[in-house]
Structure formats: C-alpha cells, structure tokens
Structure 1
C-alpha cells in the first residue's frame, strides 16, 4: 500500500510506499506519469499587496509530462525557421556577434533555467516590447523546462537593420543576429511573432484568439451574395506613401475603381471610444485590401480572417506566417505600381466568378483561423528559440541591472485593457500535447521552386488582366 503526491514544482507524481516489517523508513519513487485532468497543473495569479513590490514565484514547474505524446506536423511555413537561422548554422553565434546590435536594439532578453530577464536599452513605440515579452513568458508556462538557456537582442521598429549587402565580399564579417517582427529578402533579421497576438491595448484590440473568433462570427452573418461587391480598406494613410497612393483608387462619380477606401484617424477613435474601428464590423465587403505601412502591418491577419477575398498589394516585408501563403489559393495579388487597375480587375473577376472568389476568401480565412491558431504561434516561437539557443557558443548570464519578468510582475500591476488582455491571454496550465514536429529544411533548389511557383501564379493573373483591359479598350 502507499500514497501518491504531486510535486507541483516539477510536475512529477511521487509515489510513497508504506514501510514494511515495521521499518521506520518509507520508499519514495519518482516517476513521470501522463497526468489525468484532475492532476493537471493549474497556474494561479498570485498578486501581493499593492503597497509591496511584486516578485516572481519561486515554485514554477520545471518540467511537465503532457497527456498526449503525439506530435502533429507543423504547418509548412515553419520551414522558414531554418532559413532565418541559416546564416549562423556552420559558425554558431558568439557573444561578440550578439553585442554588436546593442546600439540600436530596444532590449536584451535572457532565458536561464526557465526564467526571463530583460535589460532595456531604449523605449520602443507604445508597448511593443511589453507585448512580446509577455508572449515569451507565456511560452515558458506552456512548455516549462523545454526552452534552452539563451540570450537575444530584439528590435521593435518596422524597418530592417541587418542588411545582407553589408556582409558581402572577401573581408565581410558574419552578421549579428537580431530579432524583429518582419523580414525581407534583403535582410538577415530573424522574424518573430508580433506583440498583437496577445492584444494591442492602445487601439482597443484584444488577444488574437477572441478577436479572430469575433471576426469570423460577424463575417458569417452575411451571405457572400449579400456582401458589398466592392473592395474595402480602412487604415492610417499617414504612415506610408503606398497607402496614400491607394486612396487614389477610391470610387468616385468620375471613375469607379470598385474600391471603398477610408482613412482611419486613430486620435479621434481614442477620444470617441473606438466606435468606428471594431475589426469584426469591417467584414461587410466581398473583397478586402491589404497594403503595407512603414513595413509589414499587423492588420494583415485581421483582414484575411474576414472570409472575404483578400487583395494583397505585393508586400516588400513578410511576417513569419505570410511566407507560407500562395496567390489564388489564399489571396489575390495586386501590383504596387498598378493598384487601381489591378483592384478593379480583381473585383470584376470575382463578381463574374463568385464561387471561385468565395473559395479564395474562405481559404485565406481558414489559414488564419487554423494555420495561425495560438498553439501554432507558440510552437513557432518554441522551435525558433530552441534552434537559436542551440547556435549560441557561450553560456548566457543575467545582465547587470536586468529585470526579471514573469506573469505576476507583468499582470498584477497592469491596469485597464492592458490587464484585461493579459488575463485573457494568460496560459492557465502547461500544454496537454508536445510542440508540433518541425518540418525539415528546404532542399537545394526547393525553396526557389516554391518562390517561382508563387511568381508564376502572379504572372498568370497579370496575363488575365491584360486581356481584360484589351477587351475593355476595344469596347
């Protein structure tokens, strides 16, 4: 006979056997079990007295055995993790490489034994740093004991910093690693999920899971044939010339480019309580336009979740999931230098081929809802950080003056929508299943074939459009 006890600090079930033959000693054996739901670790938020500094608990679980040991295959876009880390695959990453980005990185983040420490260098726009750090803290709660010790630098602005042209030639040094929210073909920057997956309080956007659910539900209330047969876009035109150029495509009495375009005045929205900027209310059109801002825009995932056919103005910058999408399967390609004519043709084509257009719209939305579910976002972070950590050639240390971050130190003092978003997106317990299985890297020529396929589809659309305008001009 004996009894079982759950060691909450490790997630290990301890079996204590009763002593035999009057012995005063008990036999204690530790064994990892597939814990049943009644034994599952549940995280609690332990906030101290507001008059005292909030500290991180010392008893976070260091490991956990999931109940389901089967790992599903990660989505195809996870293969880009190998590409983003390729520059350091044969050499590893030294401390000197990491330090070279200190002059412009916004913060240094260190993970040691499952705990997070941050050294802040400069304040980014709004709370981009806070949102991303919160996401990493939640990742460690989802997969306790699984993330290796590591040190990284994070840059929160939009433009790329580590340009490939600066690291070419016989005397070129190796590029320093720098994490950022988007990348492009001309930069070595490592692409990481953006802060808005855990909410964007400054503009009244909640965490991704509840937001995409609300968008989907509102979109499905309107039948495709009852949606406005025009393209729709609403956003801040002040951040980029390409957006101001887009506004020239607005439908007018003199020229109907089949687009309804609106400038979003965020300062007015803030003062009026965000009455005109709810994302779930912007799914009334059959077609929605995505156009970049200063670089990539977080609006992309919300636009594509609308179940409308997305008209994507060819982006220069790509976030971590966009690289897995294919034109005519997930979106309709629009040329940056031919926006108005391309948009008009896309809308006309869709209105003449409603079933095909609806399928593209639904496929893009499915990619957002299923391919970009939060489990996949966390798994992408897991594999990227794990792969990056393995490349470090030195043992990270806690930086002098660094701040330890955890759920308690971030959520307990938070107020208003910031606190609401944190409580909603807080990981409540370790994952029931392991991270998905990372696909193998692209083989030689395979990536170029994939990119060539996407380009070929875009060229096909251009040929269709050329015939359309040729016919229109004859009439």
Structure 2
C-alpha cells in the first residue's frame, strides 16, 4: 500500500504542475492539493485535456510497473519548493584529504532565479572609480609584456574556463595573501562560470609602486598591478583588502559578522551619552604622522579634546585580545582616522561606529572611500596642525549636535549598506570583468600554479585561521545577479564632484581659522 500511495502521490505532483490544485498549494506550498480539475473557460480546455491525458497515461505506466517512478520521489509536494534555492556545498575536507584535489561537484554555472534584486539595480557610485583605475590601459590594452613587468607581486592569479589558479612568488606579512586569495575563491563560488579568462598580479604590501611619472604618453605601457590602496601619484589598481574575510593576527572577524557586531555595539551607548571627546587607538610607530598625533592627547598642559591610546599587540595576543574588540570601542562621540605606512585597514571599522569620523588628511585611498564626502560622511582634519584641528572639530560637534550626529549616522549607514559583502563581491566581479576586457593575450596556466579552491586553503588550516575561513565561506552560488555597473564619469562631472569635496574641506578650514583667530584675540 505504501508503494501504491507513493505512485499516486507522484501523479498528484504532475497534476499540480499542470496547474490544478488548491489555491494555496503553489507547487507544494501550504494546503493539500485539490486533484479535481477546474475548467473556467472553454479556450483553455484543449491544453488541459492533453495534460490530463498524459497524467493518466503516466499513472497507468507506474501502477502496472512499466515505469520506474523512484526518480520522481524528489518531486513530492514538500520538496518542490526546495528546487528553487541553490544547494549548499560545505567544505569537504574528507574528500580533500583522500584525493588532494579540488572537488568536482561544485556547479560550474548557475542561473539565478531570485527576482528580489532586479537586474536594473545600479551599484553604489564608488563603483564608477573602476573605470578611472583602468583608464591608463583603455587605449593601449594590456599586453603580456606589461603584465610580466609587475613581477614584484606576491602572487599571480589565473582564471581559465571558470577555474582559478595561483602562482605564488613570495610570502606576505600577516596572512594578507592567504585571505586575499580566500576572498577570490569565494567570489568564484558566488558567481560560478561568470568570470572571464584572465591573469593578474597582486602585491600585498602597503605602498603603491607604479608611479605615474614613469609612464607618460600613449605608448607608456605601465604594468597592471593590484593592491589594497593607491594615491594620486600612482597607477596601482585598488582591490578590497584581506580583512573583509577576517584577520586572525588581530582577532578581527570577517566583515559579514563584524559589521553586525559593531552595529549592535552602537546600541549600547546613545550618541548623546557618549564621551564628548575624540578617540583613537592604534600603533604610533607605524608613521611619523601618528607619532605627531600622540602630542594631541589630553594632558595637564593642554586639552585638545582627544583620548589617544597605544595598542600593544604583543600584550593583546598574550591576554586573548580582551581590550581590542572593535564593537566595544564606540563609546566616544568622535572617532579619529589616520593613515599608517599608507592607507589603514581600520578605516571601515572606524566609520561603522555611528560617531563622526575626524579624518586626518590622507595621502592614499582604498576602493570605497572615494565615494564619501567631507561634511556629509566625515570631518576633515589638517595633517600639519592636528591638535588645533581636532580641538575645533570636537567643539564644533558639541555645539552642533544634530549636524554631528547626522554625520556619524551617514558614515555608519554608508559602510553598513553600501559596503556590505554583496557589494564587496560585486565590486570584485566588475573590476575583474572590466580588467579582462583589456587583456590582449590568451591566459595560460603556469606550470607552478596551483588550482584554487577553499579545500586547498582551509582543510590544512587550524585555529582562528580556519575558524574565520569557515565563517566567511560561501556555501552556495548566489541566487541573485550582480548589481549593474554604473557608467564612467564624464570629465566635467568628475571635476565637479572633486571640486565639491575640495570646497567642503576648505570651508571647514575657513571655520577653523576663524575660531582660532577669535581665541587668539581673547588672550
């Protein structure tokens, strides 16, 4: 009787697929299926009759044992809904330990079915800088000779027929290369088969090295080199940094989880109740500018409105990072951002705090900061007169609390929404696609390259490294499509945008000058 009921249950599924059944069934949804066909219009009778005929024929073949019905068991009413979502593919270390090869069961292509993210959804405006970063090669394209000129890189990434390979040249500091490559592996899992063939060189050090002055003219041929930051004097191509997938050396969780932790941390102390001073904690030895910043700490002689702390990483490592949780550092009304050797990975963590960021004049940029605007997302601080600049910023904020609070909320919203992991992956996706269009050679797999997949990196890992890899593992293809890449700036539009940022900064400096002029007159 059980087998017979299974056979008739499969026939019921076919009737559902024909369009008959309860109003709420929806291919195996809520409510029991109604098997009685309902004909409302004569115009639909013919296809309905055909569907009934083939359903009854199928039922007869199954009932008399002339057809194996078992292959349709997965199409039961309660399972049809599951066919609409991608299957998960967790890390398979058992197979990896046995074969030492990447799994072959992960989909090589996936057609998204989720319409909750429409195809015309445009990416955030900072994606437009992809066009600007690749502009040096727009006319000439990228030859293999140009690519080989970037052999100072830590590794070469190759994508051929949807599979990625890595050839390592040297080891980077503090797991940067490992988690950068891990992030690229997750991109391939998220959008399988959607990235074109390409080869790229990646440098994990701080300072940009491809100087614009060395490559002038239409036939200059600068080497295309990817890294985490660049500046207005360099041509290095910016790429999301490793910490988006975790930084075990400093106990920083993957951004997908950490951003939520900081968001919850923001709720502990309302902005109005936070310490009405500026806060910074870091390593002053990283740069002269940071050592200079420490002179702005509150002391018996001066009150510059800032609490500044030295981060002792050796002590933190020994004590289990008890005093370095980023979600616990949103207790002051203002946060300070200042570069280290170059751009600092701390940038997004500081912006996420719901407190206005006092942004010390930078020399470098990462991939997302170029979409942020002074006075809207941050308050500019002079690098050559930090203490007075900080003092004025804190007093201005405490006297204009509604504007200051709105600024902190705007910057936090920016990094929580426009910098969520969906957009980080989409930025990588569009950057690599646009880059690949410039290549004038066929990508090939070097003899020493190793196929890239999560098992290669994570199965042999241990401790916090493995923990963060598992936390940031993309277990299934995305069921949504990437956002639409916005067009490049036209020259006048870009100039107007940059001029607006410059004007906003100069306005703050003008207010600051007026403030200190009045203070000097009082003395």
The correspondence for 2:126, drawn from 73, 77, 81, is 77
Per-residue CA shift, 1:361-383, capped at 9, x if unaligned?
01000001001000000000000
Relative distance call for 1:431 and 1:425 in structure 2 (3 A) is: same
CA RMSD of aligned residues (A): 2.2
Q: Aligned pair 1:137/2:185, yes or no? A: yes
What is the CA–CA distance in structure 2 between the aligned matches of 1:408 and 1:297, rounded to whole Å?
A: 30
- Residue aligning to 2:108: 62
Aligned residue number for residue 31 of structure 1: none
Contiguous gaps of at least 5 residues in structure 1: 5-16, 27-34
Per-residue CA deviation, residues 316-361 of structure 1 (Å, 9 max, x unaligned), is 1000000000001100001110111110000000000111100000
2 CA distance for matches of 1:49 and 1:436? 35
Q: Count residues in correspondence.
A: 452
Q: Secondary structure at the match of 1:336?
A: coil
8 Å CA contact 1:54–1:412 kept in 2: the answer is no
Q: Kindly tell me: are residues 94 and 260 of structure 1, through their superposed partners in 2, closer, same or farther at Cα, counting changes over 3 Å?
A: same
Structure 1 range deviating more: 291-300 or 109-118:
109-118
> What SS class does the counterpart of residue 337 from structure 1 fall into?
coil
* 2:234 maps to 1:187: yes
SS in 2 for 1:110: strand
Secondary structure of 1:433's counterpart equals: coil
Residue-by-residue CA offset, 1:45-99 (whole Å, 9 max, x unaligned): 2112786463201232111111235221100000000001111112211111101
Q: Which residue of 1 aligns with 2:171?
A: 123
Alignment match of 1:337 (pick from 375, 381, 384) = 384
Deviation at 1:285, TM superposition (A): 0.2
Paired position in structure 2 for 1:161: 209
Q: Secondary structure at the match of 2:406?
A: helix
| 1:35-46 paired onto structure 2 within 5 Å | 37-39=82-84, 40-46=86-92
User: What is the alpha-carbon distance in structure 2 between the residues aligned to residue 124 and residue 58 of structure 1?
Assistant: 30
Higher-Rg member (1/2): 2
**Residue equivalent to 1:247:** 294
Q: Extract unaligned runs of 5+ from structure 2.
A: 1-9, 15-53, 69-79
- What secondary structure sits across from 1:367 in the alignment? helix
- 2:398 and 2:266 mapped to 1: Cα distance? 18
Q: What are the within-5 Å matches in structure 2 for residues 61-460 of structure 1? A: 61-69=107-115, 70-71=118-119, 72-102=121-151, 104-168=152-216, 173-460=220-507
Cα 1:94–1:144 shift into 2, 3 Å: same
Could you say which residue in structure 2 is the equivalent of 1:9?
Answer: none
- CA separation of 1:365/1:37 partners in 2, compared to 1, >3 Å: closer, same or farther? farther
Instruction: Measure, in 2, the Cα distance between the counterparts of 1:49 and 1:438.
Output: 38
Which deviations, in whole Å up to 9, do the C-alpha atoms of 1:268-287 show, x marking residues without a partner? Answer: 11111111111111110000
With the length of structure 1 as denominator, give the TM-score of the two structures: 0.91
As a proportion of its length, which structure holds more helix? 2
Secondary structure of the equivalent of 2:93? coil
Instruction: Tell me the CA shift for residue 44 of structure 1.
Output: 2.3
Structure 1: how far apart are the matches of 2:477 and 2:374? 37
The answer on 1:470 being equivalent to 2:502 is no
- What TM-score do you get using the length of structure 2 for normalisation? 0.83
2: distance between equivalents of 1:132 and 1:37?
33
Call closer, same or farther: CA 1:196–1:105 in 2, change over 3 Å. Answer: same
Larger strand percent: 1
- Contact preservation (8 Å) 1:124, 1:156: yes
1:388 & 1:278 partners in 2: Cα distance?
37
